[in-house]
Amino acid sequence: MSVLKASGAVIGSVGLVPAFGTYRRLPAFRRDGEADDAFVQPEFGLFWAVTPAHQRQGYAVEAAQGIIDWAFKEFGIRRIIAETGYDNVASQGVMQRLGMTVERNPKPEERPWFQVVGVLYNPAAG
């Protein structure tokens, strides 16, 4: 849950969810010489949602960065992903501001939310 510090009002939500996809089709997921294949693999998916009145003010980036820092430090997660559609330019912008490598799925017909994928590796992963 994302809450305004000043008022305590709930303005959105951010968190981690299980994500399953053919991620190794994307170059960012073949970092350690992994093969390009169509096998489904599990990942930690990052999500965010902000009420319309509070969008485009940096709240999604701030909240998501907190989750990323916590997950990398406390759980030693190797990488975190985020997914969206071609038309969700705002979410793609959040991915970029978080420092994610953002890639377009070469087979977008699989799932509409899997058209654009962001990936961020834990700095401790080397």
Output DSSP code: residue 55: T
This prediction has a pTM of 0.86
Tell me the per-residue pLDDT of 6-63, one tens digit each, with 9 for 90 and over.
777 787 899 999 999 888 888 877 766 666 777 888 999 999 998 888 889 888 999 9
In the chain, the number of structural domains is: 1
Instruction: Give CA–CA dist 47/74, Å, rounded.
Output: 19
Residue 29 to residue 51: CA distance in whole angstroms? 31
Residue 77, domain CATH: 3.40.630.30
Domain range for 62 is 2-125
pLDDT digits (tens, 9 = 90+) for 7-22: 777 878 999 999 998 8
